[in-house]
Amino acid sequence: MEYTTVAELVAQGRDDHRPALWWRDTVLTHHQLAREAATRAALLTALLPSDVPPHLGVLLDNTPEFVHWLSAAALARAAVAGINPTHRGPDLARDILHTDCAILVTEPAQLPLLRGLDLPGVRLLVTGTPEYDELLARFPAQEPELSAVTPADRLLLYFTSGSTGAPKAAICTQGRLAAAGHRLAEQFAVRRDDVHYLCMPMFHGNAVLAGWAPALVARAGVALRSRFSASGFLDDVRRYGATYFTYVGRAIQYVLATPPRPGEDRDHRLRLGFGTEAGAVDATAFERRFGTRLVEGYGSSEGGAAIQWAPGTPAGAVGPAVPGLVVRDQRTSAECPAARFGPSGELLNGAEAIGELVNHGASPFEGYWRNPAAEAERRHDGAYWTGDLFYRDADGYLYFAGRGDDRIRVDGENLAAALIENILARYPGAEAVAVYAVPDPVTGDQVMAAIAGTFEPAGFAAFLRAQPDLGTKMAPRFVRVLERMPVTATNKIQRARLRKEGVECGDPVWWRPGTELSYRRLTGMTGEPRHTEGPLTEVKGPSDVRRQGLEPRTR
């Protein structure tokens, strides 16, 4: 049966006494989850003021309480705003107040984050305290009630990742979340004996839409990890009998960086991982090591457009374009021509082929909470504009080229940051890679790469020469070497920060003068170079590069 609200999905487990949730040593059945949700729904109904939006903030790690409050909000026709615990001070207060949270549910470990914050009109509920337990005791366990719940009821106000700018609170209704759960449960043939491992933070849409929702639809189990741990990944998968997990950002790279465990790496039930940004190289390495297939998909956090992998999808492509998905030039709005590829798969016409993915078909985008300006950027001219860069081949398959801010224009040619990243990810010393634009001294951009891991300039140059699909403009002009890539709480690279810092950072930066593939050390602004391999050019930053005439001036 295809339920149309999350409340119905929560209630369907009330007579099911099979295990449904694992967290550390805690095991709860579907029946227990339904009753816990009903108790909190009754509490919500009693506490929420009638003259404000029925919103509650949840500042919790991935614990059973997070699941209880999501389910309770569905039953009570309220909406949950997932609050990011990595935010601090004014940014944290802004998230809570912007989403009009009348109640904030948190835990003792998070209380230091709230000290000194001015949160007028917000009532605090602290889980695991005597006061909290006494409050719940006033509403003894009861059966879930579904009176008046509709698919149009708001359920989630989840913030975009903030990797490219200020986070926005996207609206997700019960109907959209239920539909997403049904779609993914069918796509991945989720069964009742499956266990979905939720290691991505539940305050973000990935874990809830792609992990919890399909499990709820199929009445499968979920296993929670309070916070993502690469070293704990395999132990959790084996302990809970996990069969499916979701990921975003650099999570797969972190798991692959853990020491191999012969005899254990493949001794598990894990059959599938679903997420974004793993990259073809890491997906292949993950399947080779763990025997688990990764399915890369594309879906904007707001729900405005989605691409699903299908059999026959070429290597490097995300999937086929469904009717209505079009790649458009961001300046003229004209449809971009199909991509042309060289004999080694290199993109030959990036200047014309790369554009913004636009959805002219049906879009489940439901807007941002109290942010009409951001809505207008996404929804105009009768379509949903994703803000993400793509190109398509002659057969209609779509290739991800980067986020909107990832556009790199070198000598009048548009380059795909994502394509360059996929190439650099093959470099043996790279544990994580980010590619982004820095200003050219004359016009346009230069390619800069940040590499977390080990870097040897001569070896890196030799590696670049050996890559048949590296276009003539793609070789990084600058290479920043970091010990660890800066990421958001959802393991997405903080590209806005990298772009802002540019070459004037505290990390070693290597520079390629002219057209030759040879890297020299560019002295940073904050101290002497820590690496001295290869020829060393003593310059203090981009202004000295220009002043000494070392940087080619090309258009």
Looking from the CA of 133 toward its CB, the CA atoms found within 13 Å total 3
CATH architecture of 413-547: 2-Layer Sandwich (3.30)
Q: What pLDDT does 419 receive?
A: 86
Distance CA 548, CA 545 (A): 6
Terminal CA-CA length for the chain:
61
What does the domain layout of the chain look like in residue ranges? 6-227, 299-364+383-406, 413-547
Name the fold adopted by 6-227.
Answer: Rossmann fold (3.40.50)
Q: Is a pLDDT exceeding 90 seen at residue 478?
A: yes
* DSSP secondary structure, 7-57, as one string: HHHHHTTTT--SEEEEETTEEEEHHHHHHHHHHHHHHHHHHS-TTS--EEE
Stretch 236-244: mean pLDDT, rounded? 98
Distance CA 415, CA 467 (A): 16
User: What is the CB neighbour count within 10 angstroms for residue 444?
Assistant: 16
Query: 3-state DSSP call for residue 92?
Result: helix
* E-strand stretches of 174-322: 195-198, 221-224, 244-247, 272-275, 293-296, 298-299, 306-307, 319-320
Of 168, 143, 144, which is closest to residue 157 (Cα–Cα)?
168
Average pLDDT, the chain: 90
Residue 342 φ/ψ, nearest 5 degrees: -80, 180
CATH 2.60.40 fits domain 299-364+383-406: no
pLDDT tens digit string along 488-503? 888 889 988 999 999 9
Q: Is a pLDDT exceeding 50 seen at residue 522?
A: yes
Q: Is a pLDDT exceeding 80 seen at residue 545?
A: no
Express the helix, strand and coil content of the chain in percent, nearest 5 each.
30, 25, 45
pLDDT tens digit string along 328-360? 998 899 999 999 999 988 889 988 999 999 999
Q: Which residues of 312-344 are buried (b: 16+ CB within 10 A; e: fewer)?
A: ebeebbbbbbbeebbbbbbeeeeebebbebeee
Element (H, E) at 58: strand 55-59
Are the C-beta atoms of 503 and 448 separated by less than 8 Å? yes
Q: What pLDDT does 142 receive?
A: 76
Distance CA 240, CA 220 (A): 13
